[in-house]
Amino acid sequence: MLFRQSVILLFLLFIGACSSNDKQGVYIKIAGFAQGTTYHITYEMKDTIDLQPQIDSILQAFDQSLSSYDSLSVISKINRNEDVILDPLFVEVFNKSGEVFKASGGIFDITVMPLVNAWGFGPKSRVKVDSSLIDSLLEFVGMEKVKLENNRIVKTDQRVQLDVNAIAQGYSVDIVSEFLDRCGAVNYMVEIGGEIRTKGVNPSAKLWRIGIDKPEFGNIMPGAELEAILELTNKSLATSGNYRKYYEENGIKYTHSIDPKTGYPAKQSLLSATIVADDCITADAYATVCMVGGLEKSKEILAAHPELDAYLIYGDDTGVYQLFVTDGMKANVSQTE
């Protein structure tokens, strides 16, 4: 316990630990593993400082707060109904989740963990699902059943469990990016599991070029087959799609985007949703909103939030890819074919 508290403390210290000088900058590239995925970070510093040890410690602290795959994390303890005082990372994600829950009319809901587990997309093994099980699980799904009080989580039902995988990874990108800002990074691109935040320009003094993958089942390797390329600076990007995280049973594909209203994997014509926002926590959450809500609901939400831009790929009645691209995105995106 003391070790875990020390890691959180180190994370807080790293946030304010760096300073910069007036030397000419150089670009540094680092890569590693975190949150069950990979990360790639390129940054320009006025010193050739390797920040990877600090970044790895930050990401470790992040997992110890918000990873449902870490049995000793804050969120895992909450899901086991243990008394735990919340850290700033968890509080920020919980508050943002509540904000998006309201803005999306309940489409985004972090209390879906029982459903996620039942369908086999969480840390627990998949179970045999039928309508009676889904009906029983829906009784304790809904963000109105949980609140933050005196720096603790209070539930109306002890069976309520939280899953922040649809928002936490985006926030980890923001946390690392803010650390780089404090260290004096002039330009950077932070990518963790496909979620991205950019600042300034790339090593060629051009805007950062970000690939949007083709949403084809079996397209496992990010960047292997691209649908489009987006030029980005001083913005964040997140993509949600059902073409990688799914399984097939009796000829039916079950995808990881769970609709908290029905309890079933969302069945929409939307294949991929890429959202651009000022911060990655927002982009990540609304990419999920689009995938669960579907094309028409996505258009409504985007119209109500002009601060967001989107590149949506959907299938028409013949199975041909179609696009919905917001005006703010059009100038910076190019097709690969």
Instruction: Determine the residue type at 313.
Output: I
Question: What residue ranges do the domains of the chain occupy?
Answer: 1-68+165-202, 73-155, 207-337
Express each pLDDT in 109-134 by its tens digit: 999 999 999 988 877 777 888 999 99
Cross-strand pairs, 248:
253
Distance CA 147, CA 155 (A): 7
For 207-337, give the CATH class: alpha beta
Confidence of residue 321 (pLDDT cuts 50, 70, 90): confident
Please report the pLDDT score of residue 327 as a whole number.
94
CATH of domain 73-155: 1.10.3980.10
Contact 191, 232 (CB under 8 A): no
Name the least confident of 40-54, 67-81, 211-225, 295-309. 211-225
- Pairs from 321-327 (Cβ < 8 Å, separation ≥ 24): 321/215, 321/227, 321/271, 324/295, 324/298, 324/299, 326/302
First to last CA, the chain: 53
Name the least confident of 71-80, 135-144, 191-200, 241-250. 241-250
Give me the sign of the Cα torsion angle 67, 69, 73, 77.
Answer: positive
Express each pLDDT in 158-175 by its tens digit: 999 999 999 999 999 999
Q: In 3D, which of 188, 185, 186, 184 has the Cα closest to residue 20?
A: 184
Tokens of 277: 């926002």
Distance CA 190, CA 42 (A): 7
Confidence of residue 8 (pLDDT cuts 50, 70, 90): very low
The four Cα atoms 241, 246, 248, 252 give a dihedral, to 10 degrees, of -40
Instruction: Report pTM.
Output: 0.89
Express each pLDDT in 220-235 by its tens digit: 555 557 889 999 999 9
Express each pLDDT in 20-66 by its tens digit: 444 457 899 999 998 888 999 999 988 778 999 999 999 999 999 99
Please report the pLDDT score of residue 7 as a whole number.
40
